[in-house]
Amino acid sequence: MTVYSKLSVLLLSVCMLCGIFINNAALASKTDNAVSLVNELLDEVSNIQKTEISIEQRRTDFLKLIYAYFDINIIAKASTGPYWRAATSDEKEHYTKLISELIADVTSSQLGDIDNFSFDFQSSIPKGDKMVMVSGNLLVPNQSIPKISVKWRVSTPDSDIAKIIDVEFENISMLVTQKQENVAIIRKNAGSFPALIEAIEGKLRK
Amino acid sequence: MKFKFMKIHQFYLPIMVCLGFILTSCSGVDKSDASFNRDPFENTNRQIYAFNDSVDTLILEPVAYGYKKAIPQSAKTAVANHVFWAGLPNTALNSGLQGNWENAALSSLHFSVNALTLGLINLVSEEEPPVSQDFGKTLSVYDIPEGPYVVLPILGGKTSRHAFGQVANMIVNPYSALEEKKAISQAVSMQPVLSTISWRAANFDIVNDIKYNSLDGYVRARSAYYQLRFGEMPSSSIHKSEADSLFDDLDFEE
């Protein structure tokens, strides 16, 4: 083997090692970002819950959090399954706004007056290149179910971007459940996307 | 010691035969569109769901609300402990049938030790308590198909395999076969009522969210059931959940 080919092999090995190192560093950065995002969100939720405000104000505050911490475009797309492609851009835009309001509405009503909770972090595992699963337990003292297993699916398309796309409570994915409800409504109305929009508007008016 | 196995057997036999028929007749369900093909009796199921919903609104919800508000947390914990303890013989039996000897031994130990307090107080300080097992899960270990989704009056929606397993649990539970020991026998007869109220109170907000906040309560209840049940299955760690499949198929870029 000549000096030239030895140098080539050495250079190739160094490049491969650098590649592995950079890839691992990017993955580590994505998982760290995902965990930070979840912790920041929970801090914000805790602050809202501890403040004495009206239900309407609480709902508005949650809506702001949803726009800041959740990838609402992916949620809108995933929650309508195959019917997303057939919807017009106006319908897509309107639905995206409505689903954000629905999530804010449901979250504020589900959390009710719970103001004392903590998140016991368990793990953060990359799921492919673009997603990280953050798992842990939500500890709620003085409640009938004091420990709830929660998994957060965080979309991480780049190492500096992280947004939540789904939350699982005790293995029940909010997105899967919403998608199945949405698809059932669209099917019941012969594939009409506007029927889904109307149903959500009706629910939000109640 | 007299066993009342035959009496129970005669009562549940027709139910088991019907469920067995449903289970076997629908074993070839196409899984390409799982959430819908799983539910071929949707129209009938929706009617029974509406009936169950009314029973819940009129009876169970107010009783569970009263139980939740009036009973101290320590008493509710004791009842939940008792309900869990009463199911341990079944867990031990099914764990054995599944070849999970560790869980079988652990549940037998918990049952024997906590029998001193009828299960009201947990005297075993284990970090990981035994995992509840039932005949439905055992049947899944033997690759029996889950069958179609059926909503039963009062008992609610479940796969026909799960429903079949639940009836089998009632028959086989060695604890329920004892007739001589009156205290235990009376405690057994209270089980379904106690466990239903305790469960409804513990999941009060979740069930109410399905009833009052959903776009389609029936679909949400069915979806939650399937996901929850999947997570409880012994084979859940080797199969993809519905959420995993959803994100596998999703195009993030578009």
User: How many Cβ atoms from other residues are within 10 Å of residue B96's Cβ?
Assistant: 17
Query: At residue A19, does pLDDT exceed 60?
Result: no
A41 pLDDT band, cuts 50/70/90, is very high
Higher pLDDT pick, B125 / B143: B143
Residue with tokens 């965990």: A35
- Residue A122 is predicted with a pLDDT of 92
B3 DSSP 8-state letter: B
Asked if residue A138 has pLDDT above 80, the reply is: yes
Q: Cβ of B203 under 8 Å from any chain A Cβ?
A: yes
In chain A, residues with a C-beta closer than 8 Å to the C-beta of B202 are 144-145
Mean pLDDT along residues B63-67:
92
Q: Which residue has the higher pLDDT, B145 or A29?
A: B145
- The pLDDT value recorded for residue B231 is 85
Question: Is the per-residue pLDDT at B3 higher than 60?
Answer: no
Contact B6, A151 (CB under 8 A): no
Angle, helix B182-202 to helix B61-70, in steps of 10 degrees: 90
Q: Closest by alpha carbon to B118, among B192, B186, B203? A: B186
Comparing A6-15, A130-139, A168-177, B42-51, the range with the smallest average pLDDT is: A6-15
Residue B245 exposure: Cα atoms within 13 Å on the Cβ side? 13
Q: Which is more confidently placed, A96 or B85? A: A96
Per-residue confidence (pLDDT) for residue B4, from 0 to 100 = 46
Those residues with Cβ within 8 angstroms of residue B59's Cβ, 6 or more apart along the chain or in another chain: none
Question: Does the beta carbon of B224 lie under 8 angstroms from any beta carbon of chain A?
Answer: yes
Share of chain B above pLDDT 90, in %: 30
Cα–Cα distance measured from residue B52 to residue B42, given in angstroms and rounded to the nearest whole number: 15
H-helix or E-strand spanning residue B157: strand B156-159
Encode pLDDT of B14-29 as tens digits.
444 444 444 444 433 3
**Encoding tokens for residue A188?**
């019941």
The answer to which of A96-110, B131-145, B240-254 has the lowest mean pLDDT is: B240-254
List C-alpha distances in Å: B195 to A172, B56, B199, B203. 22, 15, 6, 12
Domain that holds residue A162: 3-205
Residue B37: pLDDT band by 50, 70, 90 thresholds? confident
Positive or negative CA dihedral for B231, A138, B64, A62? negative
Give the mean model confidence (pLDDT) for residues A28-54: 88
Long-range contact set of residues B17-23: C-beta below 8 Å, sequence gap at least 24: B19/B150, B19/B160, B19/B163, B19/B164, B19/B167, B20/B164, B22/B147, B22/B148, B22/B150, B22/B160, B23/B144, B23/B145, B23/B147, B23/B160, B23/B161, B23/B164
Element (H, E) at B249: helix B242-249
Higher pLDDT, B183 or A12: A12
Q: What is the pLDDT of residue B160?
A: 94
Task: Tell me the percentage of chain B whose pLDDT exceeds 70.
Answer: 74
Contact of B94 with B133, CB cutoff 8 Å? yes
Tell whether the model's pLDDT for residue B5 goes beyond 50: no
Min distance B216 CA to chain A CA atoms (Å): 6
Q: Is the pLDDT of residue B1 over 50?
A: no
A-chain residue closest to B245, CA distance: A176
- What's the pLDDT band for B252 if we cut at 50, 70, 90? low
Q: Which residue has the higher pLDDT, B179 or A171?
A: A171
Identify the pLDDT of residue A113: 67
pLDDT of amino acid A153: 94
A185, A172 Cβ separation under 8 angstroms: no
Chain A CB contacts of B244 under 8 Å are 127
**Gap between the Cα atoms of A177 and A193, Å rounded:** 18
DSSP letter assigned to residue B215: S
Residue ranges in B87-215 assigned as alpha helix (H): 88-98, 101-114, 135-141, 160-172, 182-202, 204-213
How does residue A108 score in pLDDT terms, banded at 50, 70 and 90? confident
Euclidean distance between CA atoms A172 and B225, whole angstroms: 8
Interval A45-62 mean pLDDT = 87
A180 vs B231: CB contact, 8 Å cut-off? no
Lowest-confidence pick of A106-110, A121-125, A152-156, B210-214 = A106-110
| Over residues B228-241, mean pLDDT | 80
Q: How far is A97 from chain B (nearest CA, A)?
A: 17
Total residues belonging to chain A: 206
- What integer pLDDT is reported at residue B189 of this predicted model? 66
The per-residue pLDDT of chain A, averaged, comes to 86
The total domain count for chain A is 1
Q: What is the 3-state secondary structure (H, E, C) of chain A?
A: CCHHHHHHHHHHHHHHHHHHHHHHHHHHHHHHHHHHHHHHHHHHHHHHHHCCCCHHHHHHHHHHHHHHHECHHHHHHHCCCCHHHHCCHHHHHHHHHHHHHHHHHHHHHHHCCCCCCEEEEEEEEECCCCEEEEEEEEECCCCCCCEEEEEEEEECCCCCCCEEEEEEECCEEHHHHHHHHHHHHHHHCCCCHHHHHHHHHHHHHC
Cβ separation B246–A145 shorter than 8 A: no
Give the closest-approach CA distance of B148 to chain A in angstroms. Answer: 17
Residue B188 confidence (pLDDT): 63
The answer to whether B209 contacts A106, with C-beta atoms less than 8 Å apart, is yes
Residue among A105, A112, A176 whose CB faces B223 most closely: A176
Distance from CA of B219 to the nearest CA of A (A): 6
Read off the CATH number of the domain in which A81 is found: 3.10.450.710
Q: What interhelical angle do B73-86 and B101-114 show, nearest 10?
A: 130
Does A167 have pLDDT greater than 90? yes
Q: Give me the pLDDT at residue B178, please.
A: 56
Q: Is the pLDDT of residue A95 over 90?
A: yes
Binned at pLDDT 50, 70 and 90, residue A193 comes out as very high
Confidence (pLDDT) at A160? 76
Looking at residue A91, its pLDDT comes to: 95
Tokens in use for A40?
């920041």
Mean pLDDT of B99-110: 91
Give the tens place of pLDDT for each residue, A76-87: 999 998 999 999
Residues B58, B64: Cα–Cα separation, whole Å: 11
3-state secondary structure of B152: strand
* Comparison of pLDDT for A3 and B49, the residue scoring more: B49
Q: How does the average pLDDT of chain B come out, rounded?
A: 79
Residue B216 has a pLDDT of 92
Q: Which of A154-168, B27-41, B74-88 has the lowest mean pLDDT?
A: B27-41
pTM surpassing 0.90? no
Q: Which of A107, A148, A153, A181 to mutate to test binding with chain B, by most B CBs within 10 Å of its CB?
A: A181
Query: Looking at residue B52, what is its pLDDT?
Result: 94
